[in-house]
Amino acid sequence: MKELKLIAVEGVIGVGKTSLAKILADKFHAGTVLEKFEDNPFLENFYADPKKFAFHAQIYFLMSRYRQQREIAQIDLFQSRLISDYLFAKDRIFAEINLGEDEFALYDKIFGLIQKDIPSPDLVLYLQADPELLYRRIKHRDRKFERNIEFDYIKSLGEAYNAFFFHYNQSPVLIINIKGFDFIGNDHDLVYLCNEIRNLKEPRRIVSRS
């Protein structure tokens, strides 16, 4: 595998993408690219009234992520290593779930025009978890704009993510079922993950405790 200069961490809401991205950045002496979801002025309204605000929230996220990823493209990755807490292509997962047919058709035209400008990661870490665990985490952290998230929405996202990564082949993927792992509080688990990242040779590998 080529040298890892750009790593993306992905997974459903509540799986721990940002926390892991920050820890890995420290371990790999890398910079971070963190999604600024809290800046989206439509997000709280979306969770309260998805049908009314889905398109507004989705387009805002799409353009915000695009600007961030274009900045990555300007960085000399021969001199830098970056860890991102999202994969640009995942934006379409949410669009397919949340937008109506006409809205999605318009969104898809915009997405198709801009995605060619986005660099592909050298590796994607896909964090998997049961929807029950994710829902408990979301409720426990109690972010104001997430209080109206329903369990069925988290479940549908998990199914959509699994389908997306089943077909994804633009980058090598390390699929990690987080059940039984504690990458934040357990150094042994973190070292294990770092070794899996460094030693990955195949285009797709699944890691779990089972």
Is 116 known as a binding-site position?
Answer: no
Task: Please tell me which residue in 26, 85, 182, 187 is annotated as part of the active site.
Answer: 85
206 is in an annotated binding site: no
52 among annotated binding-site residues: no
Residue 31 annotated in ligand binding: no
CA–CA–CA angle 34, 2, 28 (5° rounding): 40
The span from the CA of 88 to the CA of 49, in Å, is 25
> Is 12 annotated as belonging to a binding site?
yes
> How far is 40 from 89, CA to CA, in rounded Å?
18
Orientation angle between helical segments 101-114 and 50-74, nearest 10 degrees:
0
At 52, the amino acid letter reads: K
* 15 annotated ligand binder: yes
* Residue 137 assigned as binding residue: yes
Structure-token pair, residue 61: 């996220």
130 is catalytic: no
Residues annotated within the binding site are 11-19, 137-141
Provide the annotated binding site for ATP: 11-19, 137-141
Indicate which residues carry an active-site annotation.
Answer: 85
